[in-house]
Structure 1
């Protein structure tokens, strides 16, 4: 296992796309935080500007680039591409044969890829989140705005969880289809188009109106709740409508575990 982890660590650090995607994620977090914080400071206290009550969740908003408010967590999607390319390059360039020659134990190769990629994604999300919130704190210092609250730190944990789970799901799908192009298309088309179409059908088609709450269990819709749901309130249930963030994590994580188990099984049995 040590050799497999070392091998994967060298691989992820010698692929240029890793640094491009990581750099874009950090730059995106920085620019969004600067733009939003500057605008809020410029208008704070004016008639059309935000009030302190409006900004009570500004910490997690900035940290997740407004995924807390329901927007897609763009940084998580960027970093999931690192996982896709981690498997995709193996099959696209025929490197998997060399990998399995150097490391004959397929289970250790499989585990090492997930462990190393997950750690890289988690550390990058941590850096992006802290960078964005620190920039917000610098811009909004002196105003009646609290950046580093309990919800901000909880938001950090949830952002890391979401990004890691999304990356693992993307890796599992890539390992299943052994095609990085198909996996990249899936990563964006399914959550941004297909699930939205399904939800729209449940609202438009008369026969489905009575079941309009079912789409909340779609994997990416449930996953979005990890970031966008607020803290538990009295009376909340895990799988209520809408899902709590824990309920969303269980649904999204459950789908990811199933995909990972399937990918591990096929990776152990299929020819390289």
Structure 2
């Protein structure tokens, strides 16, 4: 004998996941996403890939290693009118290329592997993903740069005591800011070009061409002024002013110029991210 089907008691309350009108409501708690989630995701990415460890490791080896070697070849008299961080300048001229490379790889590697599709599917708010990349990279680059420059300055100060009365903490923060902004600029260029080799080549041109081209421009009197300005704002000369190696200026105008250029590139990266398909 078949048993009659059980009839639902109309007086029984509806399950807690079912809306009274019949619309489904998930029993799993749903949290509204925000920038903090994107920051956590990007921090997990950047600290777990090998390229970060290699580029940061080489950067520290160049800045600290070359800085200490230069410091060992100097005497206390060399710092009478100079900050203790000058030895870090020589390693930073090469080390900045590491941050530029890392800045490009932070985003171009995702386009190269196709993982950017997964990232933007998980976080449809594209601006949030790109903003998190900029924030995480800049924070990492700035902390590492300030540590490397400051470490060289502390060791040099310990070696030569009170030989210098020139404040040197300013060069730590300004030098770290300058090379970190170069890395952010590289990240923005990588976001716009979406190609690792192309973006790195473009950034090498940004760093190297203003240092080489003025030698040819200053041959002709008509282009001499252009060559002088370009040389004055080239990355090595800008860092030389920040570290007081060049007594003509403190590097302030060069730093402001880099902030403007980087800001324009970041704005372009955000604009193109929304207008182009993945």
Task: State if a TM-score over 0.5 links the two structures.
Answer: yes
Which of 150, 172, 179 aligns to 1:130? It is 150
Structure 2 counterpart of 1:175:
191
Alignment of 1:126-205 (within 5 A): 126-141=146-161, 145-146=163-164, 149-150=166-167, 152-192=168-208, 194-205=209-220
Q: What is the CA-CA distance between 1:113 and the residue it aligns to?
A: 0.3
Structure 1 counterpart of 2:85:
60
Q: Separation in 2 of the partners of 1:22 and 1:119?
A: 13
Q: What is the CA-CA distance between 1:216 and the residue it aligns to?
A: 4.7
Q: Separation in 2 of the partners of 1:107 and 1:230?
A: 33
Q: Separation in 2 of the partners of 1:39 and 1:174?
A: 39
Structure 2 counterpart of 1:24:
58
Q: Separation in 2 of the partners of 1:78 and 1:130?
A: 18
Closer/same/farther in 2, CA of residues 198 and 269 from structure 1, 3 Å limit? same
Closer/same/farther in 2, CA of residues 155 and 3 from structure 1, 3 Å limit? same
Please report the RMSD computed on the Cα atoms of aligned residues, expressed in angstroms: 2.5
Which of 237, 254, 267 aligns to 1:261? It is 267
Structure 2 counterpart of 1:70:
none
More contact order relative to length (CA 8 Å, sep ≥ 6): 1
Q: What is the CA-CA distance between 1:225 and the residue it aligns to?
A: 4.9
Q: What is the CA-CA distance between 1:211 and the residue it aligns to?
A: 4.7
Q: Separation in 2 of the partners of 1:76 and 1:196?
A: 15
Q: Separation in 1 of the partners of 2:227 and 2:199?
A: 29
Does the CA contact (< 8 Å) of 1:25 and 1:79 recur in 2?
A: yes
State which drifts further: 245-254 or 195-204.
195-204
Q: Separation in 2 of the partners of 1:183 and 1:106?
A: 20
Structure 2 counterpart of 1:108:
128
Closer/same/farther in 2, CA of residues 182 and 31 from structure 1, 3 Å limit? same
Greater C-alpha radius of gyration: 2
Give secondary structure in 2 for the equivalent of 1:65.
Answer: helix
Closer/same/farther in 2, CA of residues 55 and 15 from structure 1, 3 Å limit? farther
What is the total number of aligned residue pairs between the two structures?
Answer: 241
Q: What is the CA-CA distance between 1:80 and the residue it aligns to?
A: 2.4
Does the CA contact (< 8 Å) of 1:56 and 1:145 recur in 2?
A: no
Structure 1 counterpart of 2:36:
2
Q: What is the CA-CA distance between 1:206 and the residue it aligns to?
A: 4.3
Structure 2: gaps of 5 or more residues:
1-34
Give secondary structure in 2 for the equivalent of 1:229.
Answer: helix
Does the CA contact (< 8 Å) of 2:62 and 2:91 recur in 1?
A: no
Structure 1 counterpart of 2:224:
209
Closer/same/farther in 2, CA of residues 78 and 247 from structure 1, 3 Å limit? same
CA offsets, 1:230-272, max 9 Å, x none?
Answer: 699xxxxxxxxx6651211121221111111111100111101
Q: Separation in 1 of the partners of 2:49 and 2:113?
A: 13
